[in-house]
Structure 1
Amino acid sequence: MTDLTLFGQQAKAASQKLALLDTNHKNQLLEKMATALEENIALILSANEKDLVLAKENGMAETMLDRLRLTKERILQIAEGVRQVAMLTDPIGEIEKMIKNEDGLMIGRQRVPLGVIGIIYESRPNVTVDAASLCFKTGNAVILRGGREASHSNQQLVTILQDTLIANHVTPHAIQLITDQSYEVANEFMRLNQYLDVLIPRGGAGLIRRVKESATVPVIETGTGNNHIYIDEDIDLQMALDITFNAKVQRPSVCNAIETILVHESVAPVFLSELEKLLAPAGVKLFADKQAKAYLQTAELATEHDWETEYLDLMLAIKVVHSLDEAMTHINHYGTGHSEAIVSNNYFSTQRFLNEVDAAAVYVNASTRFTDGFMFGFGAEIGISTQKLHARGPMGLMELTSTKYIVYGNGQVRK
């Protein structure tokens, strides 16, 4: 059984050393990590193929296989994400403000690393590198616990990153991977309070619920995206169709894809008829309420289950609404606080939607697929937080820091 106490001790010691690395040194190492990934594409693909073979034997759905699959292009994108992190401004050491109080003390607030970050995630091996690079840039040690499905890929990726650190005289314990997939180890990891400063789960609803219920370490909730697009009564039809298709079909297995569309009754007959023609060749299965079903040839009748489900697949729930208010009420009831969108040419409707819909990212006339750290200019992301403390939305460098107050005096004592 894995000795998590040793993992924790090593990570804590590494975090103290990482906090002292200057920005140039960190950036140089990140560049070398990116190069090492590119130079070892064949090894990574070989490891990933082992995971894919096992996943197929275990009956994994094609959309979930897509989350697991690495290609040369995807590995190059992962490496580019590491380089982007290297180019970003380092928040560590930044003094946010400095004031002088009436006693003559200079009081400032400085950005510091969180310390040791634990991450539990499922079958997306890119998370391994994204998390490692962001944590390293911000001076945090990271302990990773990936899913069983990607075990070969994750081990190969971490080996490459650790070898790069060793070759450059930096402790490999800055980036550690738990390979033991037992529930006992997972539960112990969630309670590693003596060493973990924060735990971040990244995956499906089941994983996140389990971590929230079991962890005693502070948790930043990320993940589930029961996302919606509302098609308003005043639209550009082709734009609405293009956005909806992209948000559902481009990559249905990820958390920023849509799961439900809400369509204003005045445009439903034309929009839904055209949408069905567009989605049918892509193999999208439709679940519709009674009113929407009347305009669709292939849809099944939706149930309560469909409104609350994150499909992560080529499935889409459709509901006709009578007003913007009804759409927003539905979204605020069933949404998971991830990403929501409105397609409309009406300025006042779009502003109401922005102001009244409660989500980490709210879009006007754009696909929800942009809710992504890379797309938002963060280089990569540690996850997309759907809670309001300590971070919300795609979590980049700033969200992996805390602050401490620094105080300069010249002999002051309190009276």
Structure 2
Amino acid sequence: MTNRVLLWTVFVLVHAGVGLLGFLLPNEPMGDVYRVYEPWSRAVFSGGGVVGVTQDWVYPQLALLPMLLAHLPAGLVGDYTVGWAVLVTLVDAVAFAVLVGRGHSRGRVIAAVFWLAAIVCLGPVGLYRIDAVSVPLAILGCLWLLRRPALAAALLAAATWIKVWPAALLAAAVVAVRRRARVIAAAALVSVAVLGVVVAAGGADHALGFVTGQTGRGLQVEAPVSAPYVWGALLGADGSAVYYDQGLLTFQVTGPQVDLVIAAMTPLLALAAAGVLLLGAWQVRRGVPFVRLFPVLALALVLVLIVANKVGSPQFHTWLFAPTVLGLVIDRHRWVAPAALVLTAAALTQLVYPVLYGGIITPAVLPVAVLTLRNLVLVGLLVWMVARLVRLPASVSAPVRVAP
């Protein structure tokens, strides 16, 4: 059996198995699909309004497109949630085909195996969330940045208008790619096109609702910054508690000085991201080539978005997949260890949600300890990537091919 046949066999088994787990594991890891994605999309067909156009929305406007498209396979299988899983599998298959190619490159094979292992480790929450559509687009964008920067930037911009996090990959690309004018122009063209459609549809007042809507969020229970409050709630500290926010449909924490922490998190995230980008720009001036700089810079930026975020949703860990895949394609020897940590964080995240989530929202020792360990792995990986970014050599010993 050839590498390609074996990889595609595992691809099908992984997506079928993880899709099935969504119905078997506790705490409804596929709940967002039928509780919010399906009603949002059905409202468009029934004249009940268009989220992001007739009202503010938590997601960028292009996120509605896959929610609408999921009705096509849903019509064939008779269930919207299953239709969503089929749609995500098809989009993954496109990126997987480009990544694997003919199955002769060892780096690409290892990267493909990593991606499949990461899907298994993170579990159904990585499949049944809107982030699952942005990840394959991000992988394609990363693979094509060097040879096809305009197409890559367009894909990354489209992914950003589905879920904001690929903006970190675009920012890293603007720093690391020599033909950055093409990157900026392509990303701007996609953004203008999306905003033009929204404004033409009468949604000018809600065009940036996904940005302004984040300012009032509290500290989500899984976020690293929430750890003191979660432990405080577990140990009975005065004022510390986990509660359910009815407006945002998520569990958050409260406790001493929580408002000050909430207010500090967005500026802290912005400063940390700016610091990482400045390090990347410094390395460009030193002559560090794209193949060494971009994967490290991209992963460091994405980790900043997770570690310094007041929101800590489990599906955020899909964001780590794209830069790690590219790192393995380019230099598998240097990226095996970071990839192992990404898999560890993903597996711990699946334990946190959905397996042990009851012991997070009503704090118990083992679940909170697992959550804390997961967050420490993420912080450690961030520190490692920043240190690696600082120490990057200004030359590469051998040419590396990153596009099929």
Confirm or deny a common fold (TM above 0.5). Answer: no
The TM-score with structure 2 as length reference comes to 0.29
User: Greater share of helix residues, 1 or 2?
Assistant: 2
Structure richer in strand, relative to its length: 1
